[in-house]
Structure 1
Amino acid sequence: MDWTGRRLEVEVGPVAHGGHCVARYEGRVVFVRHALPGEVVFAEVTEDPGRGFCRADAVEVKSAAPGRVRPPCPLAAPELGTARCGGCDWQHADETTQRELKGAVVTEQLQRIAGLNHPVTVQALPGGPLRWRGRVRLAVGRDGRVGFRAHRSHRVVPVQDCPITVEGTLDAVVDRRWTATSEVEVTRDADEQVHVTAHRRDRDRRGGRAPRSKPVPHRIAGADTAHETAAGRAWRVAPHGFWQVHRHAGDVFSAVVNRMAAAPEGGVAWDLYGGVGLFAAGLAEQVGSAGSVLLVESSRRAVKDAQANLADLPQVEFRAQTVESALSTPGARPDVVVLDPPRKGAGREVVEAIGVHRPQRIVHVACDPAALARDVALFAEQGYRLADLEAFDAFPMTHHVECIALLERDE
């Protein structure tokens, strides 16, 4: 039986990875968004795949949890039903509750996937839960207005503002009409310059879409380079390239990575998935002029920016290639490895290649707790234990959380 559209009165259970909580009804699991553990809610089923679970939204709260608050954005309010923006998961929870929920998710993933009992406390970044995001990508609806997609949908919910973006970031894009079904990237850098790029498909000479596999970027505003600051340095980076979306994340993360890495003077360090060189800068200062740092990054533009940003640090070697290919001919054995892989994690091939070279310490930066847990389990097979972990609410109002883990080799 398809439960889509059906309203269920459920008692909400624990939080789960992905921005929802778990409830049960007539023997089936119900993943409920816009609810909190311990609440009793009326949940409307939004998706029923026909298996042992379905997805639902809490549309009415019968018994509220202590951490519930009124969402600061009207597009996140449960009473708006299907008009709801899918970008934020936890606007109905206060700051402390959000961090507790995220800590519970990381703890559960480490226990379930890696078999570790390691309770996690999530720390706040400076600036509070609103107006922290300096980089954002918006979709364009059929009416040419920008907005964000509804949860698990291609439908675009138009916006005039977004309270988690830095104030004024969207002013340049919300009042104009764009090519339907394109996407618009907006970055407000440390100099408060706004960079806008539209991604759309070009038209061929007959007026139809050109046969391209990917949309073509068209710069609308700003320059080819954005200016950022972090770790006591000024950075010139691609406007929409790799940089932390939270304005304070660069300073905090680089300090934690430096402390965990503790690269020895004259030693060797690797910075894998190194981006524009944020972590390599700290590693280079630790090893000094007699040491060496290998930065590996597949984006040629990012490597070019890294070379310019770290021109004063000749001990850094740059490789514009995938981590997998770089590790096949890595060079000197490292004392410490820092890796900041994409959301899916490093994976077995990379973990085993690092393990062959037996660095004493590995610092793993992760934005997905499940991927982190999988990698921690793989590193355990290589003889590494989880020695420390710090988690940060780098994406307030969403279910995302950033973790920095220190892995040490058992002697």
Structure 2
Amino acid sequence: MIAKAPLHTTHQPSAGGTGTEVVLNVGPVAHGGHCVARHEGRVIFVRHGIPGEKVRVRLTDAEEKAKFWRADVVEVLAASPDRVDHFWHAADSLRAWGHGHPPVGGAEFGHMTLARQRSLKAEVLAEQLTRLAGVGQLPDGAGPSVEAVGGQDDGGNGLGWRTRASFSVTPGGKLGMHAHRSTHIVPVREMPLAVDAINALRLWDLDLQGIDRVEVAAPANGSRSLVLLAPGPGTKPKRLNAVAAQLPGEVSVATFDPATEAVTQVRGRTWVQETAAGHDYRVTGAGFWQIHRDAPGALVGGVTEFLQDGGFLHPGAVVADLYAGAGLFTAVLADAVGETGSVLSVEGAPGTSRDARKNLHAAPQVEIVQGRVERVLRQKPRNFDALVLDPPRAGAGKAVVGQLVEAQPRAIAYVSCDPASFARDVGYFRQAGWDLSGLRAFDLYPHTHHLETVALLTPRA
């Protein structure tokens, strides 16, 4: 049964139209977790709808001079057959607006079947590749598809996969999450996308006064969890210790500065131990690690399959892992090239680079360098057989792509979490005489609009 939010007047419309409710026909999906609709000639980006539906929406961003508006669905007038009841009340747009407030962000696709979620993600990826990269067809002649990960196709519900979670804190000191593009914090009492170890902490029962943000890491291997507290201005150590005392004794607690990522011990470790592809990895503080419990294995498999099948990764090969983080791909590359090969591992964040040194200290074929990718490649030119490129969400960018092309590797395995920056960079490679020779996409973020891609790029013959 589909809930319908009653019409209400909790939020009065502004002069620009924000708060007004209108009826729309939902159009195609677009990058960013929304669909496109039109109202009186105006483009409106609608969240929580499905293409083909007729809905009533509340305008959430509707300044008169804006090129487009934004809106949330508050009532479904003609539902898609792929619509289901949302699994999480706090993220359910219909229910939340029915109670007079916006839903939390982070589960914006939770109102549709997993199969439809993946088909929409595939549409977005195909559109971005066509528009930004000029790729109309993949090497196999088919369009991109998005693969289920972690048993989603075997009766799975797409829940309980996050090994990391980020929360805000309400003015009253309770756990909460922000609404999309808003400073409004909604209190939460569950996180259905998170693994059991995170929910078992019952962070919503804690008095978090004096804390601005809470980050949690619960490794998929079941090892010791870490709770990171970002203290507000003027918060004293006594208050931090009081928060830590509310948590189970086996959980590590530390403070962190979101601006500098500096981590300070309160109790236990300032790091967690992850396990993937036969290796253990130390990851300090809020250092990067894939958040889906099955993501490391899926991505390592995608990268190594492309490079090994193409003959680019083998004993004695010369390779590099760029934006290497704590060394997830570096360790696997080192295994593949053996002691007769070499691996250059480059990471910009000092703390994460230190983790990589600890994680790879027993691999003499690995050289770990902390610094900007383009600078390191200029300083250490080599005849690379292959490069692994795993940049942040913003992508590599034109300058780095140019540097990679100048390095003249035989192949590049590109790992991306954003289809727009990925497609833009593929366009740069194509302009430089490279081809998209292989592509796989993984649904590592069920119930959200996000996806992960692994691509093989090779110089044009």
What is the TM-score of this pair, normalised by structure 1?
Answer: 0.94
1:46 corresponds to: 60
Q: Which amino acid in the other structure matches residue 63 of structure 1?
A: A
Deviation at 1:410, TM superposition (A): 0.8
Deviation at 1:35, TM superposition (A): 0.3
CA distance in 2, matches of 1:172, 1:241: 23
CA distance in 1, matches of 2:213, 2:111: 28
- The reply on whether 1:92 has 2:106 as its aligned counterpart is no
1:29 corresponds to: 43
Q: Which amino acid in the other structure matches residue 45 of structure 1?
A: L
Q: How does 1:4-403 map to 2 (within 5 A)?
A: 4-50=18-64, 51-77=66-92, 78-81=94-97, 82-118=101-137, 119-128=143-152, 129-170=158-199, 171-180=201-210, 182-189=212-219, 190-201=221-232, 203=234, 214=259, 217=263, 219=265, 222-262=268-308, 263-403=313-453
Q: Which amino acid in the other structure matches residue 88 of structure 1?
A: A
CA contact (8 A) 2:382 2:407 kept: no
CA distance in 2, matches of 1:222, 1:261: 40
CA distance in 2, matches of 1:110, 1:31: 21
Q: Which runs of 5 or more residues in structure 1 are unaligned?
A: 206-211
Q: Residue 204 and residue 67 in structure 1: after superposition, are their counterparts in 2 closer, same or farther (change >3 A)?
A: closer
Paired residue secondary structure (2:70) = strand
Paired residue secondary structure (1:151) = coil
- The reply on whether 1:409 has 2:459 as its aligned counterpart is yes
CA distance in 1, matches of 2:322, 2:373: 6
Paired residue secondary structure (2:37) = strand
Between 158-167 and 187-196, the greater mean CA deviation after superposition: 187-196
The count of corresponding residues between Structure 1 and Structure 2 is 405
Between 307-316 and 182-191, the greater mean CA deviation after superposition: 307-316
Q: Percent identity?
A: 40
CA distance in 1, matches of 2:50, 2:20: 20
CA distance in 2, matches of 1:204, 1:198: 11
CA contact (8 A) 1:386 1:406 kept: yes
Deviation at 1:400, TM superposition (A): 0.8
Paired residue secondary structure (2:105) = coil
Q: Residue 270 and residue 173 in structure 1: after superposition, are their counterparts in 2 closer, same or farther (change >3 A)?
A: same
Q: Residue 308 and residue 217 in structure 1: after superposition, are their counterparts in 2 closer, same or farther (change >3 A)?
A: closer
Q: Residue 273 and residue 17 in structure 1: after superposition, are their counterparts in 2 closer, same or farther (change >3 A)?
A: same
Deviation at 1:225, TM superposition (A): 2.5
What is the TM-score of this pair, normalised by structure 2?
Answer: 0.84
Between 189-198 and 347-356, the greater mean CA deviation after superposition: 189-198
Moved over 3 A (4+): 212-222
Deviation at 1:106, TM superposition (A): 0.7
CA contact (8 A) 1:197 1:218 kept: no
Q: Which amino acid in the other structure matches residue 65 of structure 1?
A: S
CA distance in 1, matches of 2:341, 2:289: 26
Q: Residue 217 and residue 139 in structure 1: after superposition, are their counterparts in 2 closer, same or farther (change >3 A)?
A: farther
1:139-163 deviations in Å (ceiling 9; x for gaps): 1121111111011101111111110
1:331-384 deviations in Å (ceiling 9; x for gaps): 322111111001000001110011112111111110010000011011112211
Q: Residue 25 and residue 392 in structure 1: after superposition, are their counterparts in 2 closer, same or farther (change >3 A)?
A: same
Deviation at 1:174, TM superposition (A): 1.7
Q: Which runs of 5 or more residues in structure 2 are unaligned?
A: 1-14, 138-142, 153-157, 237-256
Q: Residue 181 and residue 150 in structure 1: after superposition, are their counterparts in 2 closer, same or farther (change >3 A)?
A: farther
Deviation at 1:5, TM superposition (A): 1.9
1:106-153 deviations in Å (ceiling 9; x for gaps): 111111111111421001110541000011111112111111101110
1:142-198 deviations in Å (ceiling 9; x for gaps): 111111101110111111111000124042522112235611111111224221111
CA contact (8 A) 1:198 1:219 kept: no
CA distance in 2, matches of 1:367, 1:376: 14
